[in-house]
Copies of this chain bind each other. A is one copy, B any other.
């Protein structure tokens, strides 16, 4: 889920006139290529009392489990992006119900918009980016084999508002990013 870096040509990193921070400026034409945070869109998807989890077929965290989520694409709404990811990763069709969480992760310059959704039918299968897709009960979630901290947060936050129809979206749990950094974990880059 880490963003690509630009090649070191033809851009120089410098502060353009009238700006307050370094930008990527083309040394030939002066064009400024603004780098901004990326949006991740995803959804905790359920069928009855079970959660849809996908085993990642690609790095990072290949072999670990996640809800369907990925980079938001141009010219789609966040909800359309979350529904697209469920199709791409799990061949699952979902109905979005609420915005569960907005997780800002400044170290990797991501904003994750995670929705709450129901499967429209209990049909699903691994897409090209998944090794396996399963519906699992909350008590059977493989907590130690989840791909990213935000997968854990999302599933726990889902549980906190289970049955609640109207609520403000959750944020990154207080102290979590400091805790992850202090634990020295580099596996997620959070």
Chain B residues closer than 8 Å to A31, beta-carbon distance:
4, 6-7
B71 touches A34 (CB 8 A): yes
Q: How far is the CA of A3 from the CA of B76 in the complex (A)?
A: 15
In-complex Cβ contact of A36 among B26, B74, B166, B168 (8 A): B74
Asked if A142 is at the interface (CB within 8 A of a chain B CB), the reply is no
Q: Which residues of B contact A73 (CB under 8 A)?
A: 21, 36-37
Range class of the A interface residue count: 35 or more
From the candidates B9, B21, B102, B168, name the one contacting A167 in the complex (CB within 8 A): B168
Complex formed: what's the CA distance from A88 to B177 in Å? 27
B102 with A78: CB separation less than 8 A: yes
**A119: Cβ under 8 A from any B Cβ:** no
A-side interface mostly: loop
B-binding residues in A (CB < 8 A): 3-4, 6-7, 9-10, 18, 21, 26, 29, 31-39, 71-80, 98-99, 102, 104, 106-107, 109, 111, 113, 128, 166-169
Show 30 A/B contacts (Cβ-Cβ < 8 Å), sorted by A: A4-B32, A4-B33, A6-B31, A6-B33, A7-B26, A7-B31, A10-B10, A18-B128, A21-B73, A36-B38, A36-B39, A36-B71, A36-B73, A36-B74, A37-B72, A37-B76, A39-B111, A72-B111, A75-B107, A76-B104, A76-B106, A77-B106, A78-B111, A79-B104, A99-B102, A102-B102, A102-B113, A111-B113, A166-B167, A168-B169
Closest 9 CB pairs of A and B: A77-B104, A74-B109, A7-B31, A78-B104, A75-B106, A36-B38, A37-B72, A77-B106, A76-B106
Starting from the known contacts A35-B74, A36-B73, A102-B102, 8 additional A-B residue pairs (CB-CB under 8 Å) come to A4-B34, A18-B128, A21-B73, A75-B107, A78-B102, A98-B168, A99-B168, A168-B168
